[in-house]
Structure 1
């Protein structure tokens, strides 16, 4: 039976085994797909078989910078134990480095070539799944670039250089002194790590989020039994407070709570010798938004004991 490229690809997608291994498995089994899977498993090649269905909510956030650009990526694994593995850390760091040469989107990054393997990032991760033995994936990535200024990176509680569970990028536009811009940008990045703002300014807060908060405030105000005109004023006051708390530039600066972030940036302009604009930020916290599977450890041990 003729072994086609489509058959090899299908087997590779099922097992994450190498292309030549898949071709050989199909040849050995006369093109029978399920038998080829079993052949690979018997040879210990299809280590990633069925791993892709398992939740990967651990892993690492990796950052990298070059010139006036910086990137942050999230590469997930199933367990924190694997995230502490040097091979996995090298993988995450390499993915971030590759991201610097892309537009920053996870789609483009996944197809970009990994110099260390000669394969795409996605295929390199699949190979790592087979090697390390856990499900892994490239979940997301982002890139910030400025024409003039700096893009600062910050990793909170870094486990290695540029690697941790929470990473932040801050883009600063300015013609001022680079060292001053780098200092204020890093301080703002640390602030963002601590406060997790929803947007840069109040005007940037998602309208759906703001409307939901307004609805809650209206219901709370009506509980007071006050007239509608008073309720309207109460709600507007609470919305101002809400925007102040969730918009970066109006938040109290963690380095000096007597100042807002906007005031701290303004104060840095004198030393920088030029106006400073916070052009944007990105904050990635490992696993945020992923529904983690809760396991019963005792039950797992009991099941294992039964064989």
Structure 2
């Protein structure tokens, strides 16, 4: 029994999930920690999807200035209530997003926010490079599509690998935060300055 309690404690610390959710996830996975983590992650995504339509009117504006004074970020992250905006978990998430933006320099929040002129400029360059390879048309198109998908994922904040854990994207970190705080959370906008 002590081992089960230790597992529950460990999973609660890692995921911030409720006691019963952790216990049920462990039971479903027959005590397997990795299986329980996966189950909790899926449940968190489902919870986040349900909450995504709820309006957000509170939140924080966070600033980050890099130690050398040459990079600065302002980011607005919104949530549903001021109670959640004051929690340590929400504040930590907002600080981490500001740090990520300073480090990875995204163009915009979501892939659909990338300006059309930048998309078409990049597509033209990629099509030109792919045409120079001399591959058949259908292969060339797959190369262009693959490179564009990668370029878009690298430029949008939500699809970038998270700077502190490259196995997850910022969007996945956002989903985990929504599940943990129990409210809809939206990264609204940001600005990054660099000398």
Q: Provide TM-score, normalisation by structure 1.
A: 0.42
In 1, Cα distance between equivalents of 2:146 and 2:70? 36
Equivalent position to 2:76, from 150, 171, 174: 171
For the pair 1:269 / 2:178, whether they are aligned, the reply is yes
TM-fit CA distance, 1:228: 1.8
Shift of 1:198: 0.9
Aligned counterparts, 1:37-48, within 5 A: none
Query: Which string of whole-angstrom CA distances, capped at 9 and with x for unpartnered residues, describes residues 53-110 of structure 1?
Result: xxxxxxxxxxxxxxxxxxxxxxxxxxxxxxxxxxxxxxxxxxxxxxxxxxxxxxxxxx
Q: Which among 224, 229, 248 is matched to residue 138 of structure 2?
A: 229
Residue 157 of structure 1 is matched in structure 2 by 67
Q: Distance in 1 between matches of 2:116 and 2:179?
A: 35
Distance 2:62 2:90 in 1: 9
> Aligned residue for 2:4?
none
Quote how far apart the aligned CAs of 1:210 are: 1.3
- What 5-or-longer segments of structure 1 have no aligned partner? 1-145, 159-163, 287-307
Q: CA deviation at 1:147?
A: 3.5
Where 1:278 maps in the other structure, the secondary structure is strand
CA distance in 1, matches of 2:102, 2:80: 26
Alpha-carbon distance between aligned partners in 2 of 1:174 and 1:226, rounded to the nearest angstrom:
49
| Contact 2:57/2:80 (<8 A) preserved | no
Q: Which residues in structure 2 correspond to 1:20-35 (within 5 Å)?
A: none
**Residue 244 (str. 1) matches residue 153 (str. 2):** yes
Q: Which residue of 1 aligns with 2:5?
A: none
Q: Note the alpha carbon deviations across 1:244-281, whole angstroms, 9 max, x for none.
A: 00110000001111100000011112322212111111
Measured in 2, the distance between the counterparts of 1:269 and 1:194 equals 23
Give me the CA root mean square deviation: 1.5
Q: Which residue of the partner structure matches residue 128 of structure 2?
A: 219
TM-score by length of 2: 0.66
For structure 2, which runs of at least 5 residues remain unmatched after alignment?
1-55
Structure 1 or 2, whichever has the larger Rg, is 1
1:196 corresponds to 2:101: no
Is the counterpart of residue 207 in structure 1 residue 119 in structure 2? Answer: no
Q: Which structure 1 residue ranges, 4+ long, deviate > 3 Å from structure 2?
A: none
| Contact 2:65–2:71 (CA under 8 A) maintained in structure 1 | yes
Aligned to 1:254: 163
Q: What per-residue deviation string (whole Å, max 9, x for no partner) do you get for residues 120-177 of structure 1?
A: xxxxxxxxxxxxxxxxxxxxxxxxxx8311111111116xxxxx32211111111252
Number of residue pairs the alignment of both structures matches: 136
Partner of 2:28: none
Q: Distance in 1 between matches of 2:141 and 2:180?
A: 43
Q: Secondary structure at the match of 2:130?
A: helix
Larger helix proportion, structure 1 or 2? 2
